[in-house]
Structures are given as C-alpha cells and as structure tokens.
Structure 1
Amino acid sequence: MIYCGIDWAEKTHDVALVDDTGAVVAKRHITDDATGYKLLLELLAEHGDTEEAPIPVAIETSRGLLVAILRTGKRKVYAINPMAAARYRDRHSVSRKKSDPGDALVLANILRTDMHAHRPLPDDSDLGRAIAVLARAQQDSLWNRQQLANQLRSLLREYYPAVLEAVATWTNGLCRPETREVLKTAPTPTWAARLTRSQLQAALKRAGRKRGIEAEADRLRDIFRGDWAHQPPLVEEALGKQMLALLVQLEAPCTAADQLAEAVEEAFPRHPDAEILLSFPGLGTQLGARILAEIGDDRTRFADARGLKAYAGSSPVTRASGKKSSITRRWVKNDRLNHAGYLWAFSSLRASAGANDHYRRRREQGDWHAAAQRNLFNRMIGQLYHCLQHRALFDEQTAFPDRLAVAA
C-alpha cells in the first residue's frame, strides 16, 4: 500500500510517497495552481491511485483548493495537527532539523504507522459545507462587531456618555443603525446639544425607523441637552474624529452580519437535518446552522455520542497519575461548537421545562452556572446525536423523563 504526505505552503508544496516498509517511492515539488494539482494527481495515479483504491493523503490543513481537489472521489484525506506532526518529527531525527521535503515524509509515515489513530476529513455534503462557510462567517462577523462595539463604548465613555445613556434601552444599542446615524449627525456632545427635534427625527428616519419617531426624538433631545461633563473643545473635537473613524470600521461587520444572516436563513432550511435541529428547544435558524456547521452531516464521523460530546467539549475529562486523579472540563475542543452549545443551553431554559428542571437540579447539587449549563449542553447534544442517527424529532417526554417521575 502507498501512503502520501504533503507539506502545505502558500505557493509551493512538497509531496512524498512511501510504501508499507517505509521506503520512499516518489518525491515531487509542485506549485499551488492548476498545473501543480494536475502533476500531483498524475503522480498518485502513476503509483496505483484508482477510484476503487485511492491513496490516502496526510496534510496539515483542512481547507483550500488543494484539499478540495484531493477530496474528489473516495480518497481519504487526513488533516494532521501541526503540533502532532512536530512530535512525530522527533521520532525520525533527534537533531531537531526541519525541512519541507522531510515534513512531507513525516506526514506520509504518520499514515503508514498510525492511520488508525487519526480521523479523515468527514464526507459532508456540498450543501452542508456551504452552510458551514456561511454560519462560520456570520459568527466571525458578530464577534468582530462586538469587539469594535466594545472599543466604541470605551471611547464614548471618555467624552460622550450621553450617547450611552440614550441607547441603554435599545437592543444591541451601539450596533443599531439609529445609533450610528445619530453619531454621524453629532459626533460630539456639543453638537448633540444643538440638535433640533426635526434633525433627530430625520436621523432616525434615515436609519430606517418606522414607528415612535417623534417620541424617540424628544427623548434623545432631552438627554443630549442634559447636564453632562465635557472635555476641552479641542480635545472633544479630536475624540469626535477618532469616533467617526471607528464608526466606519463598525459599519462593515454590522452590514456583513446582516447579509450573512440572510444567506443562512435561505440555505439552512433546505438541508435535510434542519427539521430535526429546529425541533430542539432553544435552537433557531442561526444557532442551528452553527451546530450543523461544526458536526456536519456525515453520520459515520462519530462512532457514538461520547465522541461527539468530547468533540464539543461538554463531557468532562479524567486525568489520573498514580494515586492522584482529577475530573475537569475539557480544554481541547471545537471552540465554535462549544460556544454555540452555551447559547443553546441558555436559550433552552425557557423553551423546555425539562431542560429548566435539569439545570435547576444541577445548581442545587452545587454546580456553578457555567458547569450546570455545560452539563445541560452535554445531555442535549447526546440527544441530538440519537435523533440524527434515527431521523427522529425531539420529544420532551422522551428527553426528560425525570420531570414526569417527579410530577407523579
């Protein structure tokens, strides 16, 4: 059997092929373009790569055009963690030397000796992978938006606290179009105090507000004309210019998050698993798409529910050495899935009486809020694995029978 290892780089790649004995049967240096991909496929075919018996490939990335080309057909592609590859490198050389052709050889030998210990890339559908792209991009946009909003809030506290007071009652206050339009109209508190009722109404209309414009304009006008402390005029003007520059940066993730959310709303319901995911309490379109993006739709990816729970970081991990042992939460996990899991557990408390009872019971047993949420997420994702495997919708009585027993 032949094994292939590819040391990935930005412009060129090194390829190494080894046989069962570890002997190098071929080496090649290819470019990162269509010509290089064609040479790679010809090299694999020359050494026995066929549709029925493809050569497995190890590479240190799971993304990009090269990986997309390799995943065509039934070929198994193994994305090896660079840290794991570095540990394997020490098995072949104690001098700690490193080279790109040598790394390709190390990756090929990883498959030759320990292929059973590594997991190939899941065979997800094209629709599932497209939803993963959109859901992750939308999540990144929200994170970027929140980071910039925090910077804007910190800056406004230095010279413009009236705006923070004005948007305190609005959901996503600093990220709302009304807030951004008001800040463009009056970048400093001195300007804001001079705004008339008609100017504020015009700003709210430009932001897309349809209802309660007059009352909201009167409220903003009263706040802006209140008794607030001020920076020196020159300093205040400079801070206003800094705020406008930061506001331009905030516009981009706000627009991107809205557009990507619409794309997710359009793509996610078309997936066969969408109905099952949406049947769970606390999961909507956006959060359900994030869950699907991380677990995929390849039913053979996880051998059982325990594997999925470990991947999500919801199940505890035991560390034992001699007479000492400790049970702690997992640090190595899928951070995106773990983040979505906390949101899922929190939102399910109101949507499911059984989930709420489970959370309350864990708190009464001494768990902190985060630990109780993690335990609830661990139970919910195990139920999700069962429902996806058996193509069944969520059922409250089956999921939380303890609640019925207590009631009885």
Structure 2
Amino acid sequence: MTPLLSQQFRAFVGIDWADAKHDICLQPAGDDTREFACIPHQVARIDEWVAALHKRFGGPIAVALELSRGPIVSVLQRHSFLTLFPINPSMLAKYREAFKPSRAKDDPTDAELALDLLLRHPDRFSALNPQSADMRSLLSLIEQRRELVGDKIRFTNRLTHALKQYYPQALEWFEDIDTIQFCDFLTRWPTLPAAKRARRTTLEDFFHAHNCRRAQLIERRLASIRGAMPMTDDPGVVAPNRLLALMLVAQLRTVLAAIDVFDKEIARIARTLPDFDLFDSLPGAGPHLTPRLLAAFGEQRDRYNGAEELQKYSGIAPVTERSGKKRWVHWRWQCPTFLRQTFVEWAGQTINKSSWAGAYYRQQRAKGSSYQAAVRALAFKWIRILYRCWQTGTRYDEDLYLNALKRRGSPLIGHLEARPDTKLNR
C-alpha cells in the first residue's frame, strides 16, 4: 500500500516547476475546489509559501511534481510535513495529450494535471524516499562523469576532424588521442614541419618520459615522422586548423584531468557503502562498472518487488505488442538509458570472465541474434542473479551457480562440457 492510500492528507498540491517560476494547483482534502498560484524560484519565496501552507492546513500534505531531484525538490524536502510524489514526465505528457490532442501546453494546466493524476490514480505513485547522502552523491558523480566522457568524445571528434585537414599523420602515430601523451605531443609539435625539425633524441626522450619504452614502436614512429609529407602548405588551411587543434587539446586536457578527479572520488565513496564488496566481486565489474552497478541497485531493497521490475525499469526486458494477429517484440524506448547502458556494458565484460555467460552469449549468437541483442539477453539473465544476491546480501559465486545449472538440467551445461577450458572440465 502506498503512503498516499495509507495516510490522511490535509491537502493535495500539484507543481509544474521551471527555472524561473513554479505554477501550483492546490486542492484541500474533502473539497473539490482548486486554487491556482505562481511563485518565483527563490528560496525565500518558496519557504514563505510552504509556511503559509503549513499554517493553513498543518500536515501532512501530498505534493505531486514531475521530478525526483533538483532545486525545488531539495527545498521542499526540508519540510517534514510535505510528502513528495514524483510523476514521470512522459506519463504527464501523455495524460495531457489525452485531453488536448493539439498538444497545447500551459504550466498551470500541467500543475492541475499532476494533481489530477495523483488523486485519480493513487495506487500508481509512491512517495519519494531518498537514499543516503553517500549513495545520492555516488549516483550524481557517476552521471556527471558520464557527461564528462561525452565532452571528451566531442572534443576528440572535433580534434580528429581538424587534424585531418592539415596534419593527419599525428592520428596515425598514436592509437588513442584521448591521452595526456597525445595532448603533450600536439602541444609541443602542432604541425608536421615542427615534428620533422625535432631531433631524434628529443623525440625519444619525450616518449620515454610518457612511459612509452617499446623500441619497435618508437622506431616506427620516428621513421614515419622522417618520411612524412605535408598534406598542404596553404597557410589559409594550416593556421586556423592549428589554432583550433591547440584549443581543443587544452579542453581535452582539462576534461581528462576532471575525469581522473571524478574517478578518485567515485572510488572513495563507493568503498564506504555496505554493498561495495558484493558488486566488487562480480566477474568483469572492475573499478568503473562496480560503482555503476552499486548505484544502479541502490540501497533500498524494497524499491523493486522482484527482478522483473528492475528488468523492465532498466529497459533490458523487451516489450511485446499485439494487435489482432500481429505480434511484435522490440526493446523499450522509454527507460533510463544510462542504467540500461550500465547493465549492457557489464554483461559484455562477463562474456570472457564467466564460463556460463560466455556459453549463453555464444548460444544466442548461434541462434542468429546480433551482438547487442545477445548481450541484452545476457544482461536480462544477470539481473535475475544479481537481484537475488542483492536481496540476500550474498556475494556471487560462479561455482555455486554452475552447480545450480547442473541440478536444473540447464542446456548451458552441455555447451560448457563441450569446451575443455571451462571450470566443469578442469
């Protein structure tokens, strides 16, 4: 039973939030009258409105709004007599469209629709129950790190395009350009003529200083630098692209340093959480995926009623549509994409780290599934296993799971026994 059904609220409020203002629709309990108001996004004004609300109704008061975190949520959560009920923005948009097929949008109307959804469908919503400060910090840091990685990708793509205009050889000399070594090289020798003028010993010292000591690789680079021909000598091409490349290198250097800072802070916080060891022991998790998996499950074990809820929420479980004699199965379009990506990326890492996972993946590919479809199917199975481990607080044990597959007579056992390198045949 949700708190909305189990508590006697004195009033109900719907809020449509924005950066500059918040539209409000208020309905007292036991009264069909609805009142509308608008307050600016200022902490003092919001607190004044909340104080007036408490003076008028006391508590508790139910508040429906479109988000589960953000500035307005942080302000409202300071008041214990307010119970917040997050509403999915997509749900609210579809609800609005049901009454306005023209898709006309108005903030006061959205506030009323949020209130209406909460009152008419109380069984669909649960009160916001924040996790611990450390877990919320971890989740924010992981998401912010992902945005920094996106910035890194954008900078490297633009840098690649700029270098292809006047200095493509630099891209051939290095396998990865999102490194400090590449940034330092391009800063020191931003054009091909500059690199060709450098002494052999200077270049060797540079590579050695950046922990590159493979003699064959260094010799190959030096030979390529000596024999390289410039793509163009046109200053109208070289000068602007050289300047752009240097600016992008400076930005790339900054974002690489920022990612390193975030990695250290993520690792520090993750190790303080009780379930860290549970996820750290997973095959293929590693330093980056362990915190992501830890944040994906969280610490509230009553959050999901079963593994299938997490499979659906994360977008791993497929969707089946039926209409007449037609049946169509596809992946979920509405889901937290970063959460889905976390499970898919980790499942891909387990193919070579877990014997049964590798066998299952190969089985799916043999059926004609694409790589992505096979990995999603593997992630689907992993979520069920992890959910059980998470609920019981038990670390995953590969041998125990293989024995369980044997007892159930799983067809995967046949695939494993056919491979001499698996645990079953050692």
TM-score by length of 1: 0.89
User: Which of 130, 137, 151 is 1:130 aligned to?
Assistant: 137
In structure 2, the partner of 1:381 is 383
- Specify the alignment match of 2:6 in structure 1: none
Could you tell which deviates more after superposition, 25-34 or 143-152? 25-34
Secondary structure of 1:236's aligned partner: helix
Are the aligned partners of 2:207 and 2:213 in contact in 1 as well (CA < 8 Å)?
Answer: no
Distance 1:55 1:317, change over 3 A: same
How much does 1:96 deviate? 6.6
- Structure 1 residues 76 and 373: alpha-carbon distance in aligned structure 2, compared to 1, 3 A threshold: farther
Contact 1:122 1:301 in 2 (8 A): no
**Counterparts of 1:313 and 1:95, CA distance in 2:** 29
1:59 aligns with 2:61: no
Give the C-alpha shift of residue 254 in structure 1: 1.2
Specify the alignment match of 2:199 in structure 1.
196
Q: 1:190-213, CA deviations, whole angstroms, 9 ceiling, x for partnerless residues?
A: 1111111343245447xx624628
Cα deviations across residues 312-361 of structure 1 (Å, max 9, x unaligned)? 11111110112211122222211001111221011111211121111112
- Residue type matched to 2:75 in 1? I
Aligned 8 A contact 1:181 1:204 in 2: no
Aligned residue for 1:56, secondary structure, equals strand
Deviation per residue, 1:371-397 (Å, 9 max, x gap): 110011111112111111111111213
For the 8 Å contact 2:43–2:75, the answer to whether it is kept is no
In structure 2, C-alpha distance between the alignment counterparts of 1:40 and 1:295, rounded to whole Å: 36
Find the counterpart in structure 1 of residue 300 from structure 2.
298
Q: d(CA) in 2 for partners of 1:78 and 1:194? A: 66
What SS does the corresponding residue of 2:227 show, helix, strand or coil?
A: coil
CA 93–174 in structure 1, closer or farther in 2 if over 3 Å, else same: closer
Structure 1 residue matching 2:351: 3-state secondary structure? helix
How far residue 27 of structure 1 moved from its aligned partner, in angstroms, is 3.9
The one of 156, 173, 183 aligned to 1:166: 173
> Structure 1 residue 45 and structure 2 residue 54: aligned?
yes
Shift of 1:228: 3.0
Cα deviation for residue 45 of structure 1 reads 1.9
Query: Match of 2:44?
Result: 35
1:71-126 deviation line (CA, Å, top 9, x unaligned): 34485423323343233335667887654333222211111112322354453111
Following superposition of structure 1 onto structure 2, how do residues 227-242 of structure 1 map, counting pairs within 5 Å?
Answer: 227-234=228-235, 235-242=237-244
Q: CA offsets, 1:151-200, max 9 Å, x none?
A: 222322332222122112xxxx1011111111011111111111113432
Secondary structure at the counterpart of residue 212 of structure 1: coil
Matched residues, percent identical? 27
Match among 14, 17, 25 for residue 16 of structure 1: 25
> CA–CA distance in 2 between the matches of 1:38 and 1:6?
15
Whether the aligned pair in 2 keeps the contact of 1:201 and 1:214 (CA below 8 Å) is: no
Shift of 1:20: 5.1
Q: Contact 2:315 / 2:331 at 8 angstroms: preserved in 1? A: yes
Q: Deviations over 1:270-311 (max 9, x none)?
A: 111111111221112321222233442222221211110011
Amino acid paired to 1:302: Y
Residue in 2 that maps onto 1:182 = 185
Alignment-mate amino acid for residue 297 of structure 1:
E
Cα RMSD after superposing both structures: 2.6
Tell me the SS of whatever aligns to 2:269.
helix
CA distance in 1, matches of 2:58, 2:207: 64
Once the two structures are overlaid, the 10-residue window that deviates more, 387-396 or 226-235, is 226-235
Q: Which residue of 1 aligns with 2:332?
A: 330
Contact 1:305 1:382 (C-alpha < 8 Å) held by counterparts = yes
State the secondary structure of the residue aligned to 1:14.
strand
Q: 1:98 to 1:335 in 2, by over 3 A?
A: closer
Return the alpha-carbon distance in structure 1 between the equivalents of residues 40 and 234 of structure 2: 58
After superposition, the Cα gap between the structure-2 partners of 1:214 and 1:404, relative to the gap in structure 1 and judged at 3 Å, is closer
CA 1:394 to 1:261, structure 2 compared with 1: closer, same or farther past 3 Å? same
**Aligned partners of 2:61 and 2:81 also within 8 Å:** no
* Counterpart for residue 340 of structure 1: 342
Separation (CA, whole Å) in 1 of partners of 2:297 and 2:31? 34
- Distance in 2 (CA, whole Å) between partners of 1:25 and 1:129 is 35
Which consecutive residues of structure 1, in runs of 5 or more, have no partner in the other structure? none
Q: Is the 8 A contact 1:78 1:120 kept in 2?
A: yes
Match of 2:164 in 1: 157
Render the CA deviation track for 1:32-63: whole Å, top value 9, x for unaligned.
2221231232244235453xxx3221112233
* Matched residue type, 1:331: W
**Where does the alignment leave 5 or more consecutive residues of structure 2 unmatched?**
1-8, 418-423
Alpha carbons 2:24, 2:38 under 8 Å: kept: yes
Q: Is the 8 A contact 1:197 1:218 kept in 2?
A: no
